[in-house]
Amino acid sequence: MAYSMWLALVLVALFTYLVQELIWKKKKKFPPGPRGLPLIGKLHMARIFTMIFIKYLKKYGPIMSMRFGLVPTIVASSPYAAQQFLKNHDLVFASRTYSKVSQYIFYDQRNIMSSKYGPYWRNMLNCALYNCLAMPRFIHFSL
């Protein structure tokens, strides 16, 4: 009984790993980086990540890709690489991913948290900053 449960768990993990590898390699090209475990990626190394990060920097360079859980992540570790991501190519990386779940839960992605970058998102951000997060509001709520 216990063996069949472990066998089923191993088969499910193997199946998800194979599906992940097929989807990972066909869809997008990422910079080189360390490989992670099938379901959790490099999430298990969160505590000792700073020590291992130096080793990864020497091996893969200032821009590398990692998986934290099922989410592929691009890590920029030098100031020049971070400037390329955040300042020069910010419009490419500012958009959010589209999913059916966020479309149904967040009213067709019409809020500041899930809407795509564009004029609507900038208008929502301005409304939030000037109406909700302005200094007179903070003074009013602190009294």
Secondary structure letter of residue 81 according to DSSP = H
- Tens of pLDDT, residue by residue, the chain (143 residues): 667 788 888 888 877 777 776 765 556 677 888 877 766 776 666 666 677 778 888 888 888 888 777 777 888 888 888 888 778 877 777 777 777 777 788 788 788 877 888 888 888 888 888 887 777 766 766 65
- Report the candidate in 116, 112, 118 with the shortest Cα–Cα distance to residue 131: 112
Distance CA 99, CA 115 (A): 11
d(CA 95, CA 121): 10
Against a cut of 0.75, is the pTM above it?
no
**Contact (CB, 8 A) for 59 and 35:** no
Burial per residue of 39-60, b for 16 or more beta-carbon CB atoms within 10 angstroms, e otherwise:
eebbbebeeeeeeeeeebeeeb
Q: Where exactly are the structural domains of the chain?
A: 30-93, 95-142
Please tell me the predicted confidence (pLDDT) of residue 73.
Answer: 80
